[in-house]
Amino acid sequence: MIRDAAPSDFARILELNSAWEHVTSPLDLASLRHLHDHSASHRVVQVNGDVAAFLLAIGPGMPYDSPNYRYFDVGVSDFVYIDRVVVAREHQRAGLGDALYDDLTAFAHRHGVARLVCEVDIEPHNAASDTFHARRGFVEVGTQPVAGGSKRVSLREWALGTNAPAVPETPGPTEPASR
């Protein structure tokens, strides 16, 4: 079941984030409260009564000092920035990440948001995130060093409504029609 995150979920969200801090970023209770209060969407997946995954996303113009968020906030006006999505180890590959992204995509469509944006670690490489975001239709729009240069990220965007197949289902003529 996907639902809005609540303060009663914060301890579990911090626990999940801590387990994946090496591919997300550190998060303490004060920062989580700040992000939650300024989020466009903060959702959790509940499995058997326990929070198994969460997604936290922020819209433009929010007071957030993440260099990755700022990259988009300076140059793009109509977006939702996916700050972090975390799935518990025991629920990996069960479709929870896709379910959260589908939920966020529906949110974006309901609110007329043109694009979803995020970053993916490329140094060191987070291959699972890279593959996931490519499959979802995200394309690289830039790169930047972060964490004092110890990491490099690929900044990605998915312009909603642009994930049409590369090849038409019904092939058209290969030569111009004769006149």
3-state secondary structure of 20: coil
What is the residue extent of each domain of the chain?
A: 2-159
What mean pLDDT is predicted for residues 113-120? 96
Q: Is the pLDDT of residue 177 over 90?
A: no
Instruction: Tell me what pLDDT residue 64 has.
Output: 94
CB atoms within 10 A of CB 28: 11
Q: What is the pTM of this model?
A: 0.87
Q: What is the pLDDT of residues 59-101, one digit of tens each?
A: 999 999 999 999 999 988 899 999 999 999 999 999 999 999 9
Please give the sequence-ordered ranges of beta strands (E in DSSP) within 13-162, or none if there are none.
41-47, 50-58, 79-87, 115-123, 139-146, 151-159
List the one residue out of 88, 66, 71, 67 whose CA is nearest residue 9.
88
Instruction: Tell me what pLDDT residue 162 has.
Output: 60
Q: What is the pLDDT of residues 125-164, one digit of tens each?
A: 999 999 999 999 999 999 999 988 889 999 999 999 764 3
CATH superfamily, domain at 2-159 = Gcn5-related N-acetyltransferase (GNAT) (3.40.630.30)
* Range among 12-16, 18-22, 159-163, 166-170 rated most confident: 12-16
Q: Is the pLDDT of residue 51 over 70?
A: yes
What mean pLDDT is predicted for residues 23-51? 96
